[in-house]
Structures are given as C-alpha cells and as structure tokens.
Amino acid sequence: MRLVLLGAPGSGKGTQAARLKEALGVPHISTGDLLRAAVAAGTPLGQQAKAVMERGELVSDDIVLGMLEERLAQGDVGKGFILDGYPRNLAQANALEALLERIQQPVDLAVQLDVGTELLIQRLAGRAKEEGRADDNPESVRNRLRVYTDQTAPVIDFYRQRGKLVCVYGVGSMDEVSQRVLEAIRNHAATC
Ligand code: ADP
C-alpha cells in the first residue's frame, strides 16, 4: 500500500502515520523528520534548510526531492510506504508522480485529514509548549498555515482528479481518527 497523507500543520498527520505504519506494516516517510534529522546532523543540506524551516517556509523542491529519492531507494519500501509532508505543492506532486511512475510504484491513495483552523492553531500552540519545536512559534505557525492554504491545498485536487482522494474528519481521539482512516482506506469511499 502506497499512501500519501495530506493535511495542514497540526492536523495529526505524523501521529496517524505512525499508527498506520503499525497497522499496514509499511515504513513511515516524513520529509519534515528527514529534514530535522539533516539539521540536527549539521549536514550541508541541513544547514541550508534550517533557517527556512524556522520561518515556516518551504525548503526548495530540489533539495526535498533529492532527499526523498534517496529514501525511496532503500530496501524497506518494497511493500509500500506512508508519505507524510510530501507533496506540499503542485510541482512536488508532479515530481512525485513522475518518480513513482519511473519505479513503477504509483500512489494508491491520498488521505486528507480534515481539521478546522481554530483547532489547528490550538494544537500547534499546545505542541509548542510540550515539544519546543523551533517552528512552532506564532509567526512561523501563521506562515505554515498560509503556505498550506496557498500551496498545499491545491494538491488535494490533484489527487481528487485522479480518483485517488479520500477525506477523513480529523477531530476526535487519536483512536477514533485512526479507525476512520483505516475504514476510508479499506473502502476507498470517503468522498470529498
Ligand atoms: P508541519 O506539517 O507541522 O508543518 P512537517 O514536519 O511536515 O510539519 O514540516 C516542517 C517543515 O519542514 C515545513 O514547514 C517545511 O519548512 C519543511 N518541509 C517538510 N516537508 C517539506 C516539503 N515536502 N517541501 C518543502 N519543505 C518541507
């Protein structure tokens, strides 16, 4: 199963991806995690990405695609993968489609986690206190939400047009949302 998880910052993509990984037995690939690891390791790529991420802007498409290609070349993706945080704009969606066509592993489904803006802001503020992520400060959060609306939301239509989109209401307990996600995947039925 090859899945793309779509949803605004704070929508619970990371949490649900970790659970789906267990349920489906395929690796969870988060471009945010890959980038944060590069920043923590102080690689040249990480040094380039650090300030951009802290501002809540998108790291350049080339850098992220290169990183993703490297990750997809590892042996554990044979049975599929859950992509979290990619694609984040239409250029990335097209690049991903071309890349996966080349390796004959097209995306099966894109799951969109639907959460209202008020709750997103609340959740991100809560996470800022708990985890202290460098990009959870108010200005960066505002930027990330704006980037999502302007650049990432069109990706939802990209998958809708291909008949690959399911939407899941992302409000409720983590278990409730996981159940909805699994059901939507099983039935390929939650139209939106
Ligand atoms: P969130 O969904 O809460 O914003 P992520 O961990 O997915 O968290 O992403 C954190 C940051 O990493 C983004 O704001 C962006 O700077 C960078 N990033 C992650 N994925 C991508 C991507 N596909 N393209 C460009 N930048 C990305």
Contacts 24+ apart (CB under 8 A), 55-60: 55/135, 55/139, 55/140, 55/143, 56/135, 56/139, 56/140, 56/141, 56/142, 56/143, 56/144, 56/147, 57/143, 57/147, 58/88, 58/89, 58/147, 58/151, 59/35
Query: In this structure, is residue 139 part of a structural domain?
Result: yes
Per the CB < 8 A criterion, the answer to whether 136 and 122 are in contact is no
Burial class (CB in 10 A: 0-12, 13-18, 19+), 129: exposed
- pLDDT over threshold 80, residue 183: yes
- pLDDT over threshold 80, residue 3: yes
> What mean pLDDT is predicted for residues 1-10?
96
Please tell me the distance from the alpha carbon of residue 135 to that of residue 145, in angstroms, as a whole number.
12
Query: In this structure, is residue 34 part of a structural domain?
Result: no
Query: In this structure, is residue 63 part of a structural domain?
Result: no
Q: In the prediction, which pLDDT does 131 show? A: 87
Atom 5 of ligand 1, residue of closest alpha carbon? 32
pTM for the whole thing?
0.94
pLDDT in tens, 7-60: 999 999 999 999 999 999 999 999 999 999 999 999 999 999 999 999 999 999
Q: Which residue has the tokens 């990335």?
A: 92
- Span from the CA of 127 to the centroid of ligand 1 (angstroms): 15
Q: In the prediction, which pLDDT does 192 show? A: 74
Ligand 1 contacts CB of residue 9 (under 6 A): yes
Query: In this structure, is residue 118 part of a structural domain?
Result: yes
pLDDT in tens, 138-150: 899 999 999 999 9
Count how many domains the chain has. Answer: 1
Ligand 1 mutation pick, 88, 115, 123, 127, max ligand atoms within 8 A of CB? 88
Q: In the prediction, which pLDDT does 36 show? A: 96
CATH code where residue 101 lies? 3.40.50.300
Q: How many Cα atoms occupy the beta-carbon half-sphere of 102 within 13 Å?
A: 9
Please tell me the distance from the alpha carbon of residue 108 to that of residue 81, in angstroms, as a whole number.
10
Ligand 1 contacts CB of residue 12 (under 6 A): no
Query: In this structure, is residue 116 part of a structural domain?
Result: yes
Q: In the prediction, which pLDDT does 191 show? A: 65
pLDDT confidence band for 159 (50 / 70 / 90):
very high
Q: In the prediction, which pLDDT does 17 show? A: 96
- Span from the CA of 32 to the centroid of ligand 1 (angstroms): 5
Ligand 1 contacts CB of residue 136 (under 6 A): no
Mean pLDDT, all residues of the chain = 94
Please tell me the distance from the alpha carbon of residue 138 to that of residue 128, in angstroms, as a whole number.
9
What share of the chain has pLDDT > 90, as a percent?
A: 90
pLDDT in tens, 90-115: 999 999 999 999 999 999 999 999 99
pLDDT in tens, 54-91: 999 999 999 999 999 999 999 999 999 999 999 999 99
Query: In this structure, is residue 180 part of a structural domain?
Result: yes
Please tell me the distance from the alpha carbon of residue 127 to that of residue 129, in angstroms, as a whole number.
5
DSSP alpha helix (H) spans, 43-116: 44-55, 61-72, 90-102
Reply yes or no on whether 13 is catalytic.
Answer: yes
Please tell me the distance from the alpha carbon of residue 96 to that of residue 145, in angstroms, as a whole number.
22
Query: In this structure, is residue 67 part of a structural domain?
Result: no
- pLDDT over threshold 70, residue 189: no
Query: In this structure, is residue 24 part of a structural domain?
Result: yes
Per the CB < 8 A criterion, the answer to whether 119 and 70 are in contact is no
Q: Domain range holding 96?
A: 2-29+75-187
Ligand 1 contacts CB of residue 38 (under 6 A): no
